[in-house]
Amino acid sequence: MGQRRAEIALAFAGFIAIGLGGGAGGVLLPAQISEYHLDKSVIGLLFFTFSGGYVLAGAMNGWLLRRLGLRGDLVFGTALFTVATFASGLRPPYLVLLLLSVVLGFGAAVIDASLNAFLAALPNRTALLNMLHAFYGIGALIGPIVASGMLDRGLSWGAVYMVFAAIGVPLTIAYALLYPRHLPDSSGSAVPGLAGEAAGVPAGRSVFGAAVRHPAILLCGLFLIVYVGVEVSLGNWAFSYLLEERGQGTLLAGWVVSGFWLGFTLGRFLLGALSERFGLGPVELTYGCLLVLLAGTLLTWLVPGNGPAAIGFAVVGAALGPIFPLTIAVLPRLAPAQIVPTAIGLLVGTSVIGAAFFPWLAGTIAEYVGLGSLLPFTLLLTVLLVVNWWRIARRMPARVPAGSD
């Protein structure tokens, strides 16, 4: 039992590590734009290269788990992530930074997909997955505070990367020493080959192919692409929006962005527990989150002043928080158990298409019409999310409370 608690704690630590970069990235964008003399559209290529690495890792994660096992996969991904973060901190030429961003995305996706697959195989997976993604929010909450504080003191954006790289070293060692070699089965026991070719998949058809062709997985993939697009667009451009449209200073804008991630984190920690208390299932909870997302975006957009902006971003973050883990948690109800680990890797990888395209599109629109377009853009994407979730909900076999398995 103590060993399993240590493994779960390390999973949470891994998500803090990737959340740090996710939260700080938007704070660093103005400094990177200034240093490399680029506009918002060109700096947005970083979204594509990072996401390209994520997509590649997502497609390969089932194969990596089969070849390397859970422990080897995590050590490999965390080491890549750490090295790429350190090299980015050296502030290389922009083309080199783009290439490093591919490696950074690949490493982050391996960590992300492997830890999702690990906790999805444990008892009480819904609560654990919600907690896992909440710890991403903790990292994303800390990241803007650290980054804006270091920039305000005159340090370079590269120094922020160096701090984050230092965290990856002990994490890599801990995975190598403490993690099980293989994914556990539903009882928590390690089972070699769980992520490999599965019983129940028709002969001649790979697990990956079965996942790619499954209609419910495709719908979840489309849903998460748009969802991640909303999260990353706001997470990366909110800081610039607050500087340019609301006239806030660096520190205040950094704290408001941290408020967004604080709401995001609290949403993941608390809304799942509230849903259990009041008997809400994942379908109802996700609809509620989407409605709150619409309301929070309208508040931030239409009501002037720093206070409403801070409250609005926190509300939007709280609404976004539970959506990704809820989607992952309902996969076992939508698809055969044998393909779920591979499907998780596929969804984690493909969802980052949204993290490339939509933030780039938001930045490109802002380059021509201003960052005041960010919140109307968010409203449009939220409407798409509501429509797509309705299509997914129609495939749910039965109502199950959000905290159950």
Residues 53-88 pLDDT 10s? 887 887 777 778 778 888 888 999 999 999 999 999
Mean pLDDT of 154-171: 93
The domain segmentation of the chain, as residue ranges, is: 2-184+205-393
- Kindly state the percentage of the chain with pLDDT values over 70: 90
181 three-state secondary structure: coil
The answer to whether 57 and 105 have CB atoms below 8 angstroms apart is: yes
The token pair at 256 is: 């408001």
Cα of first residue to Cα of last residue in the chain, in angstroms, is 20
Local structure of residue 337 (DSSP, 8 states): G
Q: Is the pLDDT of residue 364 over 50?
A: yes
Total-model pTM: 0.73
The three-class DSSP label of residue 194 is coil
Separation of alpha carbons 388 and 385, rounded Å: 5
- 312 and 299 in contact (C-beta within 8 Å)? yes
Place of tokens 């509501």: 386
Token output for 136? 């991403």
Classify the C-alpha dihedral 69-73-75-76 as positive or negative: positive
Element of type H or E holding 104: helix 94-120
**Contact predicate 213/149, CB 8 Å:** no
Q: What percent of the chain has pLDDT over 90?
A: 31
Q: Residue 194's pLDDT is what?
A: 36
- Tell me the two tokens of residue 207: 């697990």
Judged against a pLDDT cut of 60, whether residue 45 lies above it is answered with: yes
pLDDT digits over 4-25, tens only? 888 888 999 999 999 998 888 8
Question: pLDDT at residue 202 above 60?
Answer: no
What residue type is 347 in one-letter code?
L
CATH of domain 2-184+205-393: 1.20.1250.20
Q: Is the pLDDT of residue 189 over 80?
A: no
